């Protein structure tokens, strides 16, 4: 990969039974491509802002963490490589998005990625991310006999093109109960029910994307859950780059409790 910029992803390997995937927190775009876009990805992006920071306590618990550095506008790691729709019949975003969440065309003048460009992006970012994620899952399962994968996300709380109204703070996705054991799903739900600081739903609008659906095989000892957070639950959405420990503190405390359950 001869492009400028950071590696496609960073990995921290731990010895625990929890693997965490953070596929959308990066906002890097190669300069030549960024110049083609209607917006500057380094300033405005549909990234899952600060999700890596929100969960930075995990490394000390022994979890392995893989975090993408490149923008989902380059390639979306949580979509299948053949770009089949995750939510047929609903508005969704694709493998190499052509629009922002708000519906703005990313490639003015129709200069959209060619099939060759899409396959280059798969080879540069998508395939290496998934190869490494797969290796982390295998390694943890070999060591512990089982593994839990958390696919960690966040999104703006109001996005009319993608969902109605204001998103609940915490959106647990288990592909309708198929991506993890019933017991694990229930333990998380019991924890969420026991608090009243944050609103939450399970397997509602966000049921889990490609990563949740592809890797979740509870019958083979691989439990996967997706947590999609509304960004207003931990940051000022009007100022995407502004992180505040104070704003995030309550949510981080709850996520710590979730991670204890996930770590088994």
- Beta-strand (E) ranges in 139-190? 147-155, 170-173
Task: Tell me whether residue 48 or residue 223 sits nearer to Zn ion (CB atom).
Answer: 48
Restricted to residues 95-154, the positions that interact with Zn ion (CB under 5 A) are 153
Given the complex with Zn ion, which of 18 and 68 has the nearer CB atom? 68
C-alpha atoms less than 13 angstroms from C-alpha of 226 in its C-beta half-sphere: 31
- 207 lies in the site for Zn ion, by CB under 5 A: no
Q: How far is the CB of 48 from Zn ion (least distance, A)?
A: 4
Name which position in 8, 19, 48, 125 contacts Zn ion (CB under 5 A).
Answer: 48
User: Minimum CB separation from Zn ion for residue 175, in Å?
Assistant: 16
Q: How many residues bind Zn ion (CB under 5 A)?
A: 3
109 exposed, middle or buried (CB, 10 Å; 0-12, 13-18, 19+)?
exposed
What six digits make up the tokens of 96? 């190499």
**Which is closer to Zn ion, CB of 21 or CB of 34?**
21
| 76/73 Cα distance (integer angstroms) | 7
Residue 152 CB, nearest distance to Zn ion (Å)? 8
Strand positions, DSSP E, 1-125: 9-12, 18-22, 64-68
Question: Which residue is associated with the tokens 């923008």?
Answer: 71
Minimum distance from residue 47 beta carbon to Zn ion (Å): 8
**Interacting span for Zn ion (CB under 5 A) from 41-49, 98-106, 174-182, 193-201:** 41-49
d(CA 65, CA 23): 10
> 48 or 52, CB closer to Zn ion?
48
Q: Are strands 18-22 and 64-68 parallel, antiparallel or unpaired?
A: parallel
| Of residues 182-201, those binding Zn ion (CB under 5 A) | none
Q: Which is nearer to Zn ion, 16 or 71 (CB)?
A: 71
CA–CA–CA angle 69, 72, 73 (5° rounding): 120
| The one among 16, 20, 24, 133 contacting Zn ion by CB under 5 A | 24
Contact residues toward Zn ion (CB under 5 A) are 24, 48, 153
């Amino acid at each position: 990969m001869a492009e400028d910029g950071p590696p496609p992803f960073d990995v921290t390997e731990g010895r625990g039974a929890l693997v965490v995937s953070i596929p959308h927190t990066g906002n890097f775009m190669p300069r030549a491509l960024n110049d083609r876009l209607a917006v500057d990805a380094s300033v405005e992006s549909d990234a899952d802002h600060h999700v890596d920071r929100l969960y930075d306590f995990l490394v000390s618990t022994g979890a392995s963490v893989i975090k993408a550095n490149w923008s989902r506008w380059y390639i979306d790691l949580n979509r299948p490589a053949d770009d089949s729709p995750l939510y047929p019949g609903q508005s969704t975003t694709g493998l190499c998005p052509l629009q922002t969440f708000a519906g703005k065309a990313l490639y003015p003048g129709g200069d959209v990625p060619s099939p060759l460009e899409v396959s280059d992006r798969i080879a540069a970012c998508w395939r290496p991310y998934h190869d490494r994620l797969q290796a982390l899952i295998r390694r943890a399962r070999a060591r512990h006999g089982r593994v839990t994968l958390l696919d960690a996300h966040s999104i703006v709380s109001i996005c009319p093109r993608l969902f109605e109204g204001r998103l609940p703070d915490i959106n647990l996705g288990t592909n309708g109960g198929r991506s993890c054991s019933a017991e694990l799903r229930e333990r998380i739900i019991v924890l969420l029910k026991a608090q009243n600081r944050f609103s939450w739903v399970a397997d509602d609008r966000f049921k889990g994307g490609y990563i949740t659906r592809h890797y979740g095989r509870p019958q083979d000892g691989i439990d996967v859950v997706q947590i999609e957070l509304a960004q207003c639950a931990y940051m000022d959405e009007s100022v995407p780059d502004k992180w505040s420990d104070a704003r995030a503190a309550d949510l981080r405390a709850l996520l710590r409790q979730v991670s204890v359950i996930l770590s088994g």
